[in-house]
Structure 1
Amino acid sequence: MAEQARPAISSALEAFYQRELAHPDKTYLVQPLGDGSVVSYSWAQVGDQARRMAAYLRSLQFPASSHIALLSRNCAHWIIADLAIWMAGHVSVPVYPTLTADSVRQVLEHSDCRAVFVGKLENWQQLRGGLPEQLPWIALPLGPEDAHLLPWQSLIDANEPWTQTHRVAPTDVATIIYTSGTSGIAKGVMLSFASMYYAANNGLRLFTISEDDRLLSYLPLSNVAERQFVEIASLLSGQTVYFVHSAQTFVEDNRRARPTVFFGVPRIWFKLQQSVLQKVPAGLLNTVLATPLLGPRVARRVLERLGFDQIRYAVSGAAPIDDQLLLWYHRLGMSLVEIYGMTENAGYSHLGRPKRFKSGWIGLPNPGVECRLSGDGELLVRSPANMLGYYKDPVRTAETLDEHGFLHTGDCGAIDNEGFLRITGRRKDTFKTSKGRYVAPAPIEKRLHAHPYIEQACVVGTQLPQPIALIQLSSASIEGVSPVRVEESLSAALLELNGQLNRQEQLACVVVISDAWTVENGFLTPTLKLKRHVVEATYQDQLEYWSVSGRTVVVQ
């Protein structure tokens, strides 16, 4: 009898079914426990637990396509729970674990969630009040201990695996991802199984990914970038996924994984660079790397210590990255490229090409992506990866997706004659000075980030005579450097920068902010992007005073 043809894959769930059958004993997820030990889950073990949890969800008799929330830091059971939600015929709603209790409640209520998985958290007591009492709270294995939580293992033991294979339609809603909100207004982006599949599957082709590749998961799975690059890509390709226990164990966990492909945000790439330069001065390292025989050996040693010696492709996204930082990794032999995308198009838009690096430009459109600029310079993109719309928000959906299917990104850009894209800033971030001149802050901030002492920069200037820059210094870069030397370096950099800017863009001063800008205190999004509106609101009363102080460098 001829072997029955396998059904065509059009979703990550269907891909999982086939992976589970093809190599049930192959390791899929590797979870560190914090005491130096790890636990690994094979594809068969993942499938068994997901099916048992799906059976429990089915027993709750929710209507088809009900919304189930996932509130947890990254861990193996985040992905297992997501699979269970889909197997039960429902829609997953990731919730950032760094939100406040009020924001968690807002997301759960707006999304009409009927249950919530609670996993690995460091702030459970602060978040607990944001969970509606009437919902079932299901604890993942690494979740907090709480009498109100239903233990994962108890539910697994009490339910036989759900044996009916749930098939999804490509146009079904797979997930509702609430944007992390640099503007402070979260929107529920509805992504279909088809859009997530299209974006991830084409990404696998661009990076020539196979089941022999390894991934490290550390950025929030609640964010579209990590969701697509790690979860959906691994389900489609069969990669092994390793998790990070904590920020303190990042390098140790990365060395264990020895990832072959890696996604990071600019701040991560910057901090890793600084960890190297703390041990080897930049000038000495540059000299050694330029030495024909010694350079390649030293470069490989540096990558080995970071856990990146097996990297084939590395990607930076979520915010602009300085070209000099990209080139620093290139000198180490790492193919680090920039990526551009949004939650609204499953993170699928533009990508740098390792052999076609062009300074100042992100890269080329991905396969299947059409892009154009509107009359006022806004980037518009169209592809099968575009969202279905915003949940319960037809007005903003119509504002973002036009009648021709183009997504209005809100980003201003430029496209050269080869098709390379450059982002010049957010339309809503452009401000007007008291002289009536418009200034786009993003290009100025990118130039500031090129300075080795500057870790974060935010250019403001609404109703000021001239813009000013609020900056945070890199503690690693200025260690051992006198405050006078730091101020002299910043003054010289400001003078040089102003010589490259138009008159209305020139900075009156740079202000060194001593307050911490972190995810926990609300200054950064979970993907470490600066929330401009929070910075401006926090220092609003002091901006005018700083701008007319007459000093080029002001220390808060």
Structure 2
Amino acid sequence: MTEPKEQDNLGTSRPLLKTKTILKNKIHSKLSKRAQGDNYEALAPGTSYWTSKREGQVQLRMGKDPLENEPPVTVPDLIMSAATKYSHYLAIGSKSKKSWQVLTYIEYYEACRRAAKAFLKVGLERFHGVGIMGMNSSEWVIASIGAIMAGGISVGILSSNSPKACQVIAETSEMDIFVVDNDRQLQKVNQIQGYLKHLKAIIQYREDIQEVQPNLYSWKGFLDLADGISDEKLDQIIDAQKPNQCCALVYNQATTGTPKAIMLSHDNITWTTAATVQSLGYKCPPHGQEVLVSYLPLCFAGIQILDVWVAISVAGTVYFPSLESGKWSGLPRIPGTGFLMELLREVQPTTFCGIPWVWDRMLDSLKTKHLDSTAFRRKIDRWAMRMGLSTNKRRMMGETHQPLCYGLAKRLTFEPARKFLGLNHCEQFLNVGMGLPSGTLDFFLSVDIPILEVYGLSECTGLHSTSCLQAYRLLSSGKALPKTHTKVEKENQNGIGNLCVWGRHIFMGYLRDKQSTEKKVDAHGWLHTNDLGFLDFDKFLYVLGNTNDLIRLSSGEMVNPFPIEQRVRTRIPIVRYAMLVGQDAPYLCALLTLKCQINPETGEARGNLTSEAVACCRKLRSQATWLSDVLYDRDPLVTEFINQGIQDVNSEAPSVGAKITKWVILENDFSVDGGELGPMGKMNRSTVLKIYQEEIQKLYENPTS
């Protein structure tokens, strides 16, 4: 990407040269204190690994040898250090119409200070919340960091949340200020603000304000309030903050009922950031600069670490979706025709972070492109992809030798595939969320795109293990972050058990929920994840489902659906999603969705099959093109193909109870908008059970003999 012309679109309150001099003096002062032993060693009164109080302090999980411990630092320390070292490097940018509005690191830091002062001016109190609800943007991250600098707590809120959910979040976090991106989000706040006793101001950072309200500010009007607060007052508040105190709340979006407020400390964020940088292959000036795109919801801890805090740590440039994507709901759209592909092609990121939903759509796009090409072109691609897959699998085992024709395959197939996706400058490809099936991983590996799995929960600041090109295994989530620990409890005969993790990334506790915190974190500081998995001989972590998803059959047998569902998706390539049901029933059944095309504007599934699914049908001599062609066993060729695939899956079942007895194709592919998938693409099993209750009931009406 050609370097955009710098524009100071957010304003700064003092000359940047003076700011840099002040920063250097502050850094020197902090280093002097550490040299004298004031290294946060006495983080009293944090005598416990957890707390449920917003103003509480926790004991950090540090090693016995002080020399081996990373010095704890606060979030303001992190960004101040970046602004000092990399002052004139580009930090963040958002596109407005056809021009990029960008800030350098020193401008970024000054904009955050300005926001912090404005928050203080409107009455933000210590440890009270600042809720940020809207599309990823420069304003989103500046508001988040500014809230922390001002001594408040940054609270990211999912854009699709209902007014009632927003009310619960605002009440539990004692929210003083709401920051929203447009009028649609503003109306949610207006519906509930009569119930919010702490609410003092609302800031809208996109779109013109349509109706004047006493406590409503535009982004510019809000920043203008900063002139009423002195630098000295802000510095006093920043200097009083401690690494083992809360600075951010993340709400567990996957839970049913009232969402839990996960408290993250300064040290949770800054330490996890440093460990992630150490584990992954990021560049840092002057040796190069990372270019990132931020499009996944920043209210998720792992996404925020990768998009915001890692970027600051390595002085990368983060680009956000354009203002013209304002109608976007904040949920991922399809690469290929939507805004994401355009953004990737223009920005050309060096590291790209996707979720299964996004990688799935990219796979669809590549396969469609392949099937639309000439027969000769397809033959070349198949040759190159066979070589790519075998070479990359050998590379995983330590073999670095490449075939003589590998360079030719790269020019003919691999580079065009990356360019088509907008990833031709990309050096790292990450997947967060649930692991990808082997078929998807193999396909991308065959075009020389090794997808590195990342695993973590919000309760461990979003990340616990990462894969990297030097330590990579198919279907593995990589190795744990440095100086963290993983153990497997209650292992079965296959060595699969409950995963527990330990380290400085473990959260402080659930806000105002002592009982749930004590259940999640034991007396020794271990976090019980509820995830199932195992560690291999080389300490690679494999995650194989969650205890909450286990199905108890009427016989009493417990079945883990995740590995079975993954095998179904791999063995039957026309299947997009498979979900097992059978709680308290005599046998397992499977709900299947077929691969259908997606409307790029709405994200909803269409009725016509993808090119890959159609091509598969043609190999079966089926003429099916639409989903309706195969529903209700209308196409015996497709029905027999699925039956055979289910039989193949059943042949690998460890017990009779783990076999699929019946299956049904659903009338719709799962989607985020339909509610079957969460905002990060994870299957909402409880929602699927409610939506397809009638179809499930029919599967058990005529029991098998």
TM (normalized to structure 1)?
0.92
Q: Secondary structure at the match of 1:464?
A: coil
Distance 2:674 2:440 in 1: 27
Distance 2:490 2:703 in 1: 39
Aligned length: 548
The question of 1:461 aligning with 2:582 is answered: yes
Distance 2:541 2:193 in 1: 42
Question: Contact (CA 8 Å) 2:117, 2:225: kept in 1 or not?
Answer: no
CA apart distance, 1:146:
4.5
Partner of residue 109 from structure 1, selected from 150, 167, 171:
171
The question of 1:309 aligning with 2:444 is answered: no
Question: Contact (CA 8 Å) 2:78, 2:270: kept in 1 or not?
Answer: no
Distance 1:140 1:467 in 2: 50
Distance 1:452 1:124 in 2: 44
Amino acid at match of 2:514: P
Per-residue Cα deviation, 1:245-271 (whole angstroms, up to 9, x for no partner): 443210010112211112211121111
What is the aligned partner in structure 1 of residue 459 from structure 2? 344
Cα distance, 1:443–1:184 mapped onto 2, change above 3 Å:
farther
What is the aligned partner in structure 2 of residue 190 from structure 1? 263
Judge which range, 82-91 or 58-67, deviates more: 58-67
Amino acid at match of 1:266: P
CA apart distance, 1:303:
0.2
What is the aligned partner in structure 2 of residue 525 from structure 1? 678
The question of 1:43 aligning with 2:133 is answered: no
Q: How does 1:224-373 map to 2 (within 5 A)?
A: 224-245=301-322, 246=325, 247=333, 248-281=338-371, 284=379, 285-290=381-386, 292=405, 294-297=408-411, 298-373=413-488
Cα distance, 1:410–1:37 mapped onto 2, change above 3 Å:
same
Distance 1:426 1:15 in 2: 35
Judge which range, 390-399 or 359-368, deviates more: 359-368
CA apart distance, 1:393:
0.4
Q: How does 1:62-101 map to 2 (within 5 A)?
A: 62-101=124-163
Per-residue Cα deviation, 1:178-197 (whole angstroms, up to 9, x for no partner): 01115455211101010111
Distance 2:506 2:445 in 1: 32
Amino acid at match of 1:458: M
Q: Secondary structure at the match of 1:92?
A: strand
Judge which range, 357-366 or 122-131, deviates more: 122-131
What is the aligned partner in structure 2 of residue 554 from structure 1? none
Question: Contact (CA 8 Å) 1:54, 1:162: kept in 2 or not?
Answer: no
Partner of residue 698 from structure 2, selected from 541, 545, 548:
545
What is the aligned partner in structure 1 of residue 594 from structure 2? 473
Per-residue Cα deviation, 1:467-514 (whole angstroms, up to 9, x for no partner): 112122221233574133543432221121111113111112232222
Q: Secondary structure at the match of 2:672?
A: coil
CA apart distance, 1:130:
4.4
Question: Contact (CA 8 Å) 1:433, 1:461: kept in 2 or not?
Answer: yes
Partner of residue 534 from structure 1, selected from 654, 678, 687:
687
Q: How does 1:145-164 map to 2 (within 5 A)?
A: 145-148=210-213, 149-160=216-227, 163=231, 164=234
Question: Contact (CA 8 Å) 2:431, 2:454: kept in 1 or not?
Answer: yes
**Structure possessing the higher radius of gyration over alpha carbons:** 2
Distance 1:117 1:406 in 2: 35
Q: Secondary structure at the match of 2:276?
A: helix
The question of 1:510 aligning with 2:663 is answered: yes
Distance 1:86 1:413 in 2: 36
Cα distance, 1:497–1:238 mapped onto 2, change above 3 Å:
same
Amino acid at match of 2:220: Q
Per-residue Cα deviation, 1:337-384 (whole angstroms, up to 9, x for no partner): 111110000122122232443344322222111111122521111001
TM (normalized to structure 2)?
0.73
What is the aligned partner in structure 2 of residue 12 from structure 1? 75
Distance 1:120 1:512 in 2: 39
| Structure 1 unpaired stretches of 5+ | 552-556
Question: Contact (CA 8 Å) 1:361, 1:420: kept in 2 or not?
Answer: yes
Partner of residue 418 from structure 1, selected from 535, 538, 548:
538
Q: Secondary structure at the match of 2:310?
A: helix
Distance 2:537 2:115 in 1: 52
Per-residue Cα deviation, 1:417-468 (whole angstroms, up to 9, x for no partner): 2212222221121111223321111111222232432222221111222211
Amino acid at match of 1:24: S
Question: Contact (CA 8 Å) 1:519, 1:525: kept in 2 or not?
Answer: yes
Cα distance, 1:288–1:373 mapped onto 2, change above 3 Å:
closer
Question: Contact (CA 8 Å) 1:98, 1:520: kept in 2 or not?
Answer: no
The question of 1:171 aligning with 2:244 is answered: yes
Q: Secondary structure at the match of 1:330?
A: helix
Distance 2:183 2:673 in 1: 13
What is the aligned partner in structure 2 of residue 223 from structure 1? 300
Question: Contact (CA 8 Å) 1:336, 1:354: kept in 2 or not?
Answer: no
Cα distance, 1:26–1:369 mapped onto 2, change above 3 Å:
same
What is the aligned partner in structure 2 of residue 401 from structure 1? 521
Q: Secondary structure at the match of 2:661?
A: coil
Partner of residue 646 from structure 2, selected from 494, 504, 521:
494
Amino acid at match of 1:226: I
**RMSD over aligned Cα atoms:** 2.5
CA apart distance, 1:119:
1.4
The question of 1:433 aligning with 2:553 is answered: yes
CA apart distance, 1:132:
4.7
What is the aligned partner in structure 1 of residue 15 from structure 2? none
Cα distance, 1:503–1:183 mapped onto 2, change above 3 Å:
farther
Question: Contact (CA 8 Å) 2:271, 2:505: kept in 1 or not?
Answer: yes
Cα distance, 1:414–1:19 mapped onto 2, change above 3 Å:
closer
Cα distance, 1:146–1:241 mapped onto 2, change above 3 Å:
farther
Q: Secondary structure at the match of 1:543?
A: helix
Cα distance, 1:463–1:313 mapped onto 2, change above 3 Å:
same
CA apart distance, 1:215:
0.9
Distance 2:134 2:194 in 1: 16
Amino acid at match of 1:396: S
Amino acid at match of 1:286: R
Judge which range, 237-246 or 337-346, deviates more: 237-246
Amino acid at match of 2:647: L
Cα distance, 1:531–1:131 mapped onto 2, change above 3 Å:
farther
Question: Contact (CA 8 Å) 1:141, 1:153: kept in 2 or not?
Answer: no
Question: Contact (CA 8 Å) 1:524, 1:531: kept in 2 or not?
Answer: yes
Cα distance, 1:466–1:227 mapped onto 2, change above 3 Å:
same
CA apart distance, 1:415:
1.8
Partner of residue 199 from structure 1, selected from 239, 251, 272:
272
| Structure 2 unpaired stretches of 5+ | 1-23, 32-71, 326-332, 373-377, 388-404, 492-496, 597-609, 618-623, 625-629
Question: Contact (CA 8 Å) 1:433, 1:463: kept in 2 or not?
Answer: yes
Question: Contact (CA 8 Å) 1:103, 1:130: kept in 2 or not?
Answer: no
Judge which range, 57-66 or 382-391, deviates more: 57-66
Cα distance, 1:162–1:497 mapped onto 2, change above 3 Å:
farther
